[in-house]
Amino acid sequence: MAAFLPPSSARRSLRAWGQLVLLLSMLLGLSVQAAEENVSDINIPLTANGVEEDTTAHSSPTIRGESTNNAQIETTPSPLKDNEIRQRISGIFSEIDGLGAVEVSVSQGVVTLAGETANERKAQQAINLANRLTDVVTVDDHINRTLDVQDNVSTAYQGLRTKGQNLLKALPLLMVGFLLFGLVAWFGAWLSHRKSLWQRLTPNPFVAELLAQTIKVIFIILGLILALSLIGAETIIGTLLGGAGVIGIAIGFAVKDTIENYIASLMLSIRQPFQARDHVVINDREGIVVRLTSRATILMTLDGNQLRIPNADVFKGIILNYTQNPERRFTFELGVDANDDPLAAIKVGLDAINQLDFVLAEPKAIAIITHVGDSNIVLEFLIWVDQSRTDFGKARSIAIRETKHALENQGFSLPEPIYRLRFNPELEQGLGCFQGESAGSLTPDMTLPPTTPNSQTAIRPNTIDDRDKQQAKARAKQILRGHEADEVLNARPDEKLMKKVEQEIADSSDETDLLNKNSPRE
């Protein structure tokens, strides 16, 4: 048996068409009921002799027990006219199912209705009909609503039977309306799938997709309106539009964030503040742009993780694009001894910096004196690099190292922070005994390097040990002599990170990227 079953896609299509047929059938039933109620409630004033009268007077809202006609009341009553009114109302009631048991009496233009009706709807129908006669002053309601089960069930049954018969009669028209709706909806779907047409109209892929979907929805609504008009259910169109408006407002409040995010996606796709592979910082989140979807902006962080930022936050946030202008400046500080000439130290440092391959000649690297400390003069170096060809962090690290070595090789010292201590005579004597020397050999002022809490206090002169310095340099040369040292001193961008970005872009080829190189950038 399974071999004769239609495919899943065909079953879904049949189920969707069946639901649509059921919806149109329900709408047709509602239109038939609305037409019947409108015919029974047409408010055309009648005269006592049955002639329709053209008047602008309308009956007032019905009140239980009494209903008043707003037409002008004659000054001189006429018993003959009262009798005509009674006969006219009784004749009308005798022709309407469910109103035959209503008794009518008229005096001075006041109509009194008594007897029985099956339910409230029939009683209100009798009151409205009586009140439509122009010579009726008011209608006094004394009708007994029996609410009899048999009467109400039989009435409902007759109504359902009538509606069923009307539905059977309207089936050919319903099929034509259904066919018309299907043709119009199919044409809208076919037109929306012409991607080349929409891409020619607008270069932005997101706007093109949005335009195609809008055309599709418009044709569906147009087909529904044409189908309802064909089967005579125009009144339902207004009801559906009104209901759609109310539902739209409710849904708008419920999905406000989603709508805001969707609009932000549209604006970002039009403005194009960044492109794929751009190095950006969005709301303090740094990474490489992978793509822009209809919901989020996807970044590859510098540590290789995928980061998704909602487009609403991106559109309202602060965007720093490093790739937009590849020239970028970094700074660092070094301190020289207070006895050294800071301008000479600046020249030595800049000479060493300008020898680095990644340092740009324009704008030139500069250095300034920021402040003078207790034991040193602080210099700040400002260097420009092309970050499209240079790793920013590596370049800064190498520049600091080369500047430090250049200053030390030219005899400039990079002093450690020192503290000046003053001793009273008793402490001087104790220190002198501890060193095996006389207290008189100590000077009143001594400088000691800062010590850690766990270190022992020692008195050292405030000079750099030349022997330790030479050993450190020799050790560094030996370590950096191998071929692997080239990677440490290499300032090229990290190729592995860009490979991960390219792989992420390739793996997401099935997801629509709203970034377009052909679109103008803000």
Instruction: Tell me what pLDDT residue 460 has.
Output: 46
Instruction: Tell me what pLDDT residue 19 has.
Output: 54
- The verdict on 292 and 363 lying in the same domain is no
Q: pLDDT category, 241, cuts 50, 70, 90?
A: low
| Residue 453 within any structural domain of the chain | no
Mean pLDDT of 316-334: 91
In whole angstroms, give the CA distance from residue 177 to residue 190: 20
CB-CB contact of 392 with 332 (8 Å): no
| Residue 486 within any structural domain of the chain | no
| Residue 18 within any structural domain of the chain | no
| Total domains present in the chain | 4
- The verdict on 138 and 180 lying in the same domain is no
Instruction: Tell me what pLDDT residue 246 has.
Output: 66
| Cα–Cα–Cα angle for 80, 82, 86, rounded to 5 degrees | 120
Q: pLDDT category, 77, cuts 50, 70, 90?
A: low
Averaged pLDDT of the chain: 75
Instruction: Tell me what pLDDT residue 459 has.
Output: 41
| Residue 89 within any structural domain of the chain | yes
- The verdict on 122 and 139 lying in the same domain is yes
Decide which of 392, 418, 444 is a domain's last residue. 418
Mean pLDDT is lowest, of 52-56, 179-183, 422-426, 448-452, for 52-56
CATH of the domain at 369: 3.30.70.100
- The verdict on 318 and 331 lying in the same domain is no
- The verdict on 384 and 305 lying in the same domain is no
82, pLDDT greater than 50 = yes
- The verdict on 286 and 341 lying in the same domain is no
Decide which of 418, 450, 469 is a domain's last residue. 418
Q: Which residues form the domain of 317? A: 273-322+500-507
282, pLDDT greater than 50 = yes
- DSSP, residue by residue, 324-348: TS-EEEEEEEEEEETTS-HHHHHHH
**Quick one: which of 218, 213, 310, 299 has its CA closest to 260?**
310
Mean pLDDT is lowest, of 195-209, 288-302, 407-421, for 195-209
- The verdict on 138 and 215 lying in the same domain is no
- The verdict on 185 and 133 lying in the same domain is no
- More confident call, 336 vs 449: 336
- The verdict on 349 and 411 lying in the same domain is yes
CATH of the domain at 291: 2.30.30.60
Is the bond into 61 cis (omega within 30 degrees of 0)?
no
Instruction: Tell me what pLDDT residue 347 has.
Output: 94
Structure token pair of residue 45: 């004033």
Quote the pTM value.
0.51
Using DSSP, state whether 474 is helix, strand or coil.
Answer: helix
Q: pLDDT category, 444, cuts 50, 70, 90?
A: very low
DSSP element (H, E) containing 100: none
411, pLDDT greater than 60 = yes
Mean pLDDT is lowest, of 46-50, 402-406, 438-442, for 438-442
| Residue 88 within any structural domain of the chain | yes
Q: pLDDT category, 465, cuts 50, 70, 90?
A: low
Q: Is the dihedral of CA 307, 310, 313, 318 positive or negative?
A: positive
| Residue 261 within any structural domain of the chain | no
| Rg from Cα positions in the chain | 47
Q: pLDDT category, 67, cuts 50, 70, 90?
A: low
Instruction: Tell me what pLDDT residue 280 has.
Output: 93
- The verdict on 338 and 307 lying in the same domain is no
- The verdict on 359 and 412 lying in the same domain is yes
Instruction: Tell me what pLDDT residue 153 has.
Output: 66
What whole-number percentage of the chain has pLDDT above 90? 17
Decide which of 97, 112, 147 is a domain's last residue. 147
CB-CB contact of 49 with 81 (8 Å): no
Mean pLDDT of 428-453: 52
292, pLDDT greater than 80 = yes
| Residue 138 within any structural domain of the chain | yes
Q: pLDDT category, 307, cuts 50, 70, 90?
A: very high
- Say what the alpha-carbon torsion angle 128, 133, 138, 139 is, to the nearest 10 degrees: -40
39, pLDDT greater than 60 = no
- The verdict on 317 and 334 lying in the same domain is no
| Residue 408 within any structural domain of the chain | yes
Mean pLDDT of 141-166: 75
